[in-house]
Every structure is written in C-alpha cells, then in structure tokens.
Structure 1
Amino acid sequence: MTYIISQPCVDLKDRACVEECPVDCIYEGPRMLYIHPDECVDCGACEPVCPVEAIFFEDDVPDEWQGFQTANAEFFDELGSPGGAGRLGAVGKDHPFVAALPSQTE
C-alpha cells in the first residue's frame, strides 16, 4: 500500500509534502507530484500538510480520481527506483493521463 497524489495537485505542486517526506519519495513532474510506491514507507507525513487535500491512502482515493492510482504507479515504469527524488531532481514528463488533463490555472 502507498499514498496517492490526485487531481488537486495538478498545476499547483505546492511541495509542502516534499519537505515533510522523511524518505524523499515524492517526485516532481511538470504538472504534478508523484509518490513512488516502492520507496514510500506509508508514514502518512505528507497527507496532513497538503494544502489542497490531494493526498490519499491508496484505499481511500475518491472514485472520481481513481485514474490517479494507475498514473502514479505507471509514472515510475520507465524511471524505476532512483532512490530519492532530491538526488534525481524534476522529471521532464508527466504520465500521459496527467499530461492530457485540461489546465487548472486558466
């Protein structure tokens, strides 16, 4: 089990969760952040600091945002497990599901 970042993060990327994560498992794409399912230790530190309530335990993701579970996991298919987001830096692409969403800033 892991935590999932969902719709409210798209085009916001507040990064409070990144600062709070003790294992550095929250990676940054151009439009949103992603939690690495194999690196996350399920501590839950990220969830309460998210200002837009975009982070959910995997079993608690609202039905309308279920697509983010797949997008979050598949984001790491090519990337693998780099062993820390800070060391890697921002990733130059989002999952296609996220990339195709309409802009949240317009």
Structure 2
Amino acid sequence: MAMVVTDPCIGCKDKACLPVCPVECFHSNEDEPMVYIDPDECIDCGACVSECPTEAIFHEDDVPDQWKSFIELNAVKSATCPSAHE
C-alpha cells in the first residue's frame, strides 16, 4: 500500500510535503498541476500527510470515494513524470 495525492493538491504551490519524504517518491513536472506519489517507491511512512497544507494525501485504503480515481492517476503519472525532488 502507498500514500495517494488527491484532488485538493491541484494548484498547490506550497509543496511542504516534498522535504519530509525519506525516499523521495514524489513526481511532477512544470506542466502538471499537482504532485504524484509513486506507489512502488512509497514506504507508507505517512510523514507527508501532516505536512500537506491542503490535506490532499491519504493512505490508499483511506482515499475518499470521490477521489478513488487518484489511486490509479498517481501510479500512471508518477511513472511518466520526473522526480519532484530535483
């Protein structure tokens, strides 16, 4: 299981979640309106949850029903976007 970034992240410029990730599993690029978590890299530590200013990050099992599509979106987009930690 992994953490999942959901809809409230769209447009967030803060990115306070990035520095606390011990495995640097966030991905994005300049054309993306949000960041994505690579489910294969995420160690499910939850450190990013409390740092997210928009409360957009959930454990995969706890993603609200209206945002379940973000589970797959994170997997797909993290595979095509570069690391957001660079």
Could you list the structure 1 runs, at least 4 aligned residues long, displaced by more than 3 angstroms after superposition. Answer: 76-79
Structure 2 residue ranges without an equivalent (≥5): none
Partner of 2:4: 4
Question: Aligned in 2, Cα 1:78/1:8: closer, same or farther, shift over 3 Å?
Answer: closer
Q: Which residue of 1 aligns with 2:38?
A: 36
Question: What is aligned with 1:93?
Answer: none
SS of alignment partner, residue 70 of structure 2: helix
Change (3 A) 1:77 1:19: closer
Counterpart among 66, 69, 81 of residue 67 in structure 1 = 69
Letter in 1 for 2:17: C
* In structure 2, C-alpha distance between the alignment counterparts of 1:50 and 1:63, rounded to whole Å: 20
- Number of residue pairs the alignment of both structures matches: 84
Determine which structure has greater relative contact order: mean sequence separation of CA pairs < 8 Å that are 6+ residues apart, divided by chain length: 2
Deviations 1:31-66 (A, max 9, x none): 000011111111110001111100000000001111
Q: What residue number does 2:25 align with?
A: 25
Indicate the percent of aligned positions where both proteins have the same amino acid: 49
Aligned partners of 1:33 and 1:57: how far apart in 2? Answer: 15
CA distance 1:26–1:48, shift in 2 (3 Å): same
Ranges in structure 1 where 5+ consecutive residues have no aligned partner: 90-106
TM-score (norm 1): 0.71
Q: Which amino acid aligns with 1:23?
A: V
RMSD of the TM alignment (CA)?
1.7
How far residue 13 of structure 1 moved from its aligned partner, in angstroms, is: 3.8
- State the TM-score, normalizing by the size of structure 2: 0.86
Q: Is the radius of gyration larger for structure 1 or structure 2?
A: 1
Deviation at 1:76, TM superposition (A): 3.5
| DSSP-derived class of the 2:49 partner | helix
